[in-house]
Amino acid sequence: MAPAPGRARLPGPVAGPPAGRAVTAGDPADGIDRFVNAADHPPGLPARPASLDRLRGRLGTLRATRWLIGGADEDTTLSLRQGLIGSVMIMVGSWGVGWLASTPTSLFARTTILNPLRVEPAGVIACAVLLVLGSLLLVRAWLRLGQRLEGRWNGSRDVVVRATWLWAAPLMLAFPVFSRDVYSYLGQGRLLHAGLNPYEDWISELPGWFMQGADSIWAESPSPYGPLFLLVARAVWFLTGGSPEPAFLLFRGVSVLGLGLCLWAVPRLARRFGTPPGWATWVSIANPLFALYMIAGIHNDALMVGLLLCGFVLLGPDSSRARTLGGLVLVSLSIAIKPLTLIALPFAGLLLLRGTHQSGVHRTTSTGGAAGPAGSSGTGGPEPDGGRAGTPGWGERARAWAGCLAVTAVVLAAVGGLTGLWFGWVPAMLTSGGAAFPYAPFGLLGLGIGWVTESVTGVDARAAADVVYAAGKVLAMGLTAWLALTRRPVNPVLSTGLALSAAVLLAPIIQPWYLLWVLPMFAVVHRWRGWPLWTLYLVVMVLVAIGVVDQLSVAQWISLLWVRIITGAVGAAYMVFIVFLDPKTSTLFPFTGRRRIRTSDPGRRGAISAPVHARGRAPHSAPKPSAGTRPTGAAPENSQET
């Protein structure tokens, strides 16, 4: 007979309580999740101090802190509150080290209200530390939300959407952090408003461009944006008169619009392909990278991705003509934001055909084996042939692609006509730019080959590097063509993600937020488990820490190097805590030797879990109670939880 609910004992001792006393579920020294004691502890791993257990247990019982720390393991509001606190910390930190223009039209350049945070070294360092701690606290809240929702993703979409909006709200009032591209957006709008061509003229041609806040690396580069976004940028310049603060608030509104479109589209695409909508939304859009780089950092990529995903939602083999036309228009508008999404056009056509929605997509089980094709047709049900029959012929593909191309050409011509630039973005898109970033291995490869070529042959290094970059574009286009033309097409949304990934990896410039272009494409197709997931967790933490340290705006009389060293050290220490020491999140990473197991009925509120050695069982086994008896040790209704 199963043990009676309500009272359960965790087997074995833990560090903290007096020797010989059993630790019961909900014991403040237990804190719901329990590690093995020193004798059973995996060698080389830091042990959790008993004082930490007692402190967490005590804070969970106090009225002042219970709202944040106490509660049942399944209580998602705790993660929402912690993420909100992290976002508020980011907002306040940005006031000291966020990017602020020095132009006379800046509202804050004419006041001393922020001087204690931006001028004094102590204030600057405090804001930088606050920024990195708040960012990583947001990452931890996201990880904990995923842990709390594990096993009940099917009904979790509303919680995930609420968390996304809640965490993004304070960032609306933050100065630009993680990037200052928004000032380049404003410069592009100023160019167009002045009657210049952003595809041929440069921001550096405008008087006072540097004080306006644009990064000098983009000062002499053609605009990489489509005609629709240039219209938006021109409208923002006109409405704000070039004042930076109202301008970046309007641009942030554009990013929030993109966030809303993504939150609408991702669950619908996930449901179509048989993936839990809540999980797909959590891993891609509620992801801290989205809030930090798209909202706090203000990037038009949010709108680009949102329009593309919404277009994919409307496209399907059973879609009406109006729905199909609407979907193609949205895809075309995404191209008009950033022309790179032109890559998605052939796959938008494949979405209109039967037999393309499942092929090449297999769900991975927890043991790593294939569990059959994952996905469904545009109507929400699986393909009758499971994706093995009914592969579209060349005639069907040609007709679908011709229709897509016609609609896209009309939309882009209309938008281009409004700007007067028409298709000037085409030659600008084909240029490689004049920089390579440390995040771009292919860019560094081109620079290295160029340097060697110049040393050996005397050929200009830049010319040699351009040949390498052109080869990268050819390779990316070749992979895109193969994905579109292969006899048994891969899922079109997955193919879009693969093609975009190739375009990013083979480009001379890679930015951290480019991951957000492809993450939703992969997330909606099937759910990941194992190493892809915990690798993503590590990548997110690293990109967040890099974004903070690399993009600090510090006055010239303050040592930027020392501010970065201090900020980086604090961020690294907190990441070590999250991965190795945190009693909750450390169970997500298998190399820590800890994993999480359920120790009571998972369906009951307050069910608890204990981390154990990854390669072994719990060190002791609890005796099975005889019929009609109740196990000892009370399990409280609300166990202490962080």
Chain segment 205-220, per-residue pLDDT in tens:
888 787 777 887 777 7
The span from the CA of 14 to the CA of 22, in Å, is: 8
pLDDT of the residue at 52: 62
Q: Is the pLDDT of residue 418 over 70?
A: yes
Angle at 411 between CA 409 and CA 412, to 5 degrees: 65
Q: What is the DSSP string of 300-368?
A: THHHHHHHHHHHHHH--TT--HHHHHHHHHHHHHHHHH-GGGGGGHHHHHHHTSTT-SSTT-EEE-TTS
Burial 247-256 (b: 16+ CB within 10 A, else e): bbbbbbebbb
As a whole-number percent, the residues of the chain with pLDDT over 70 amount to: 75
Q: Is the pLDDT of residue 12 over 70?
A: no
Contacts of 320 (CB under 8 A, 6+ apart): none
Among the listed ranges 40-54, 175-189, 523-537, which one has the minimum average pLDDT value?
Answer: 40-54
User: Pick the residue with more confidence: 125 or 592?
Assistant: 125
Backbone angles phi, psi at 554, to 5 degrees: -125, 140
Instruction: Express each pLDDT in 336-380 by its tens digit.
Output: 999 999 999 999 999 998 877 653 444 433 333 333 333 333 333
Q: Which of 91, 26, 89, 103 is nearest to 60 (CA)?
A: 26
User: Pick the residue with more confidence: 483 or 462?
Assistant: 483
Backbone angles phi, psi at 610, to 5 degrees: -130, 130
| DSSP SS3 for 276 | coil
**Cα separation values, 16 from 50, 555, 640, Å:** 4, 47, 15
Q: Is the pLDDT of residue 525 over 50?
A: yes
pLDDT of the residue at 9: 36
Instruction: Express each pLDDT in 378-416 by its tens digit.
Output: 333 333 333 344 677 888 889 999 999 999 999 999 999
Across residues 448-471, what is the average pLDDT?
Answer: 87
Burial 481-508 (b: 16+ CB within 10 A, else e): eebbeeeebbbbbbbbbbbbbbbbebbb
**Cα separation values, 537 from 141, 361, 388, 432, Å:** 12, 23, 35, 31
Across residues 430-450, what is the average pLDDT?
Answer: 73
pLDDT of the residue at 388: 42
Q: How confident is the model at residue 106 (pLDDT cuts 50, 70, 90)?
A: confident
Instruction: Express each pLDDT in 542-561 by its tens digit.
Output: 999 999 999 998 988 999 99
**Residue pointed to by tokens 């089980």:** 365
Token duo for residue 245: 């603060």
pLDDT of the residue at 355: 72
For the full predicted model, state whether its pTM sits above 0.85: no
| DSSP SS3 for 373 | strand
| DSSP SS3 for 135 | helix
